[in-house]
Amino acid sequence: MIGLTGFGGYIPRLRLARQAIAEANGWIQPGLRGLARGERSICNWDEDSVTMAVEAARDCLGEDGGAGLRAIYLGSTTLPFQDRQNAGIVAAALNLDGDLSTMDVTSSQRAGTTALAAALDAVDESEPGHILVLASDARRARAAAQQEMIFGDGAAAFTVGHDGVLAELLARHSVAVDFVDHYRGENRPYDYTWEERWIRDEGFLKIMPKAVTQALDKAGVAPAEVDLLIAPSSLRGVPAKIAKAVDIDPARLGDDLQGAVGQTGCAHPLVMLSHALEDGAPGQVMVVASFGQGCDVLVFRATEAIGDRRPALGISGHLARRRGETNYNKFMAFNDLVVQEKGMRAELDNQTALTQLYRRRDMLLGLVGGECQVCGTRQFPRSRVCVNPNCNATNTQQPFPFSGIPASIMTWSADHLTYCPDPPLHYGMIQFEGGGRFLANFTDADVGKVGVGQTVRMMFRVKDFDNQRGFRRYFWKAAPQQTSEEA
């Protein structure tokens, strides 16, 4: 039996009210007011498709931490590096940069399902281990474009294999059609989209129903047996029309999360699937379809093990972990939609020494410190000499990963002088459970709600940007955990 063996996801904490977008741009685009309902997820300034993929992976893998993984497939159309393998960064952040294969899948809105299909095809029932599949997108749109209202940022993660299957793959079918509903040319930051009626009538409604029907025929499943159909589209009424075209009750369409998240690009079909699996029941038949220069369709049936393995938070948990945002100017700044005067303190040369990045990659990307094998003292960073004054043993430290260890704030400061894209810059000394401490930058910190003793969770984020060379550095930051999120 081959199928999904684990699932998870990630939605950024920040949610921009669509009303804020409409109020800022209604003078030039009055039609935006008709879309000004609910909110959409937005990345913080230090988040991107890679950091979201890492968080989705951590949510999926849980305490296992990726033990037994033999490959990582990452699907995205917004990868930060065009010529540096982004899946390799994820592997390093998860402390997996060893004997496994990594692959980026991109250039289509079905990159996420294509990555999942490729991973399922690669499962060998004679070979142990799982494949980690990630889909993550943070698409940009021009100011005042409808896409600002429609898009959202998010990621999904799955492990696939033949052991401990939660949802069995019954069949899959793909079609390749060079139907261009939108495109983004080389060195262009935004998509160019064609007319909606053409996309709806000649694209979705002709290509997707045929592909779904062929997948169901391969699976030997009648339309009436389908419990859930995931066929996302931002075009109003299209998912229901697709369902009717294949004789599936539109009431069985999955929650498209449009009111709380938006369309998360190539990740969206898998974000919806991950969300649906949280309430999955044995025997349920789930059909996942994605559109983009053709169509991918995968048919799954939940097994008796569907309730055995749940994500740490899942999509539902991340939906609850939200902070409302109404400052449209902040959103524009985070997405480089406006040129800002950042001041002299931002005029730094952030060149990265690639030699040191490689030599210390476990520390910088994996947050790996050391644990003394003589006295058990943990420290970050790792060094030749144990920091315990009662020990001071040399060459006794073994690598110890801190990324999953709970920590708390010992001291903190909010700095309004040091440059930060979202001031003030919060940072402080944090103490890990079981020992170990270091001075960390904070992320997702609420002004006035940070305090000594507060629990923090380590999160993989962008440290800073080298705009002169087009490089971004990643590191781990401490995210203060609030007792209750904003409504």
The domain made up of 3-334 is a member of CATH 3.40.47.10: yes
Q: According to the model, what pLDDT value does residue 344 have? A: 79
What pTM was estimated for this model as a whole?
Answer: 0.96
In DSSP notation, 269-300 reads HHHHHHHHHTT--TT-EEEEEEESSEEEEEEE
Q: According to the model, what pLDDT value does residue 483 have? A: 60
Query: Please, which residues have CB within 8 angstroms of residue 30's CB and are 6 or more apart in sequence?
Result: none
User: Is the N-terminal amide bond of 269 cis, ω within 30° of 0?
Assistant: no
Beta strands in 326-454 (DSSP E): 368-372, 378-379, 397-401, 407-415, 425-432, 437-441
CATH number of the structural domain 402-480: 2.40.50
Q: What is the sign, positive or negative, of the torsion defined by CA atoms of 29, 31, 33, 37?
A: negative
Measured CA to CA in angstroms, residue 350 lies from 32, 208, 353, 354 at distances of 39, 47, 10, 12
| 202 Cα distance to chain centroid | 31
Model confidence over 262-276: pLDDT tens digits? 999 999 999 999 999
Residue for token pair 């004997």: 99
Residue 46 and residue 476 in contact, taking contact as beta carbons nearer than 8 Å: no
Q: According to the model, what pLDDT value does residue 155 have? A: 98
Each residue of 197-209: b (16+ CB within 10 Å) or e? eebbeebbbebbb
Residue 456 and residue 408 in contact, taking contact as beta carbons nearer than 8 Å: yes
Spans of all domains in the chain:
3-334, 402-480
Q: According to the model, what pLDDT value does residue 487 have? A: 38
Each residue of 90-111: b (16+ CB within 10 Å) or e? bbbbbbbbeebebbbbbbbbbb
Q: According to the model, what pLDDT value does residue 346 have? A: 81
Mean pLDDT by 10 residues, the chain (487 residues): 97 97 94 93 98 98 84 97 97 89 97 98 89 97 94 98 96 97 93 95 97 98 98 95 98 96 98 97 98 98 93 96 95 90 82 92 96 97 95 96 96 94 96 96 96 97 93 97 59
- By residue count, the chain amounts to 487
Structure tokens that stand for 484 in this block: 């209750």
Q: What count of other Cβ atoms lies within 10 Å of the Cβ of residue 173? A: 21
Measured CA to CA in angstroms, residue 253 lies from 16, 212, 228, 250 at distances of 26, 14, 6, 5
Model confidence over 376-411: pLDDT tens digits? 999 999 999 999 999 999 999 999 999 999 999 999
Distance CA 257, CA 123 (A): 31
Distance CA 284, CA 180 (A): 34
